[in-house]
Amino acid sequence: MYRTELKVNYDAEMKPVSGSCTACGEKMPKSPADLQNPAEIIVWLSGKYIEHRNLKHSNDERRRVPRD
C-alpha cells in the first residue's frame, strides 16, 4: 500500500507551478492566474488535493499505512 501525498512541482525560480497525487498520479487543476504568492499557490493546491483525496482514496486505504 502506498501513502498518498501531494507532490508539488516548481519552476526554475522555485515558484510552485503544479501538483499531483503520489498514489495515482492525477494532476491537480492549475491555480488561478491571480495567485502569485508561492504560499497562496501551495494552499490552493493543497485544498484541491484534499478534495481529490476525499473523492478518490478512501479513509480505510489511508489508515493501512502508518504515518511517520
Given this model, what pLDDT does residue 40 score?
96
pLDDT digits (tens, 9 = 90+) for 2-52: 578 999 999 999 999 999 999 899 999 998 989 999 999 999 999 999 999
Total Cβ atoms within 10 A of residue 31? 19
Q: Please, are residues 28 and 45 in contact by the beta-carbon 8 Å criterion?
A: yes
Q: 51 or 61: whose pLDDT is higher?
A: 51
Given this model, what pLDDT does residue 57 score?
86
In angstroms, the Cα distances linking 53 to 9, 30, 43, 62 are: 18, 17, 15, 9
- Does residue 64 register a pLDDT over 60? no
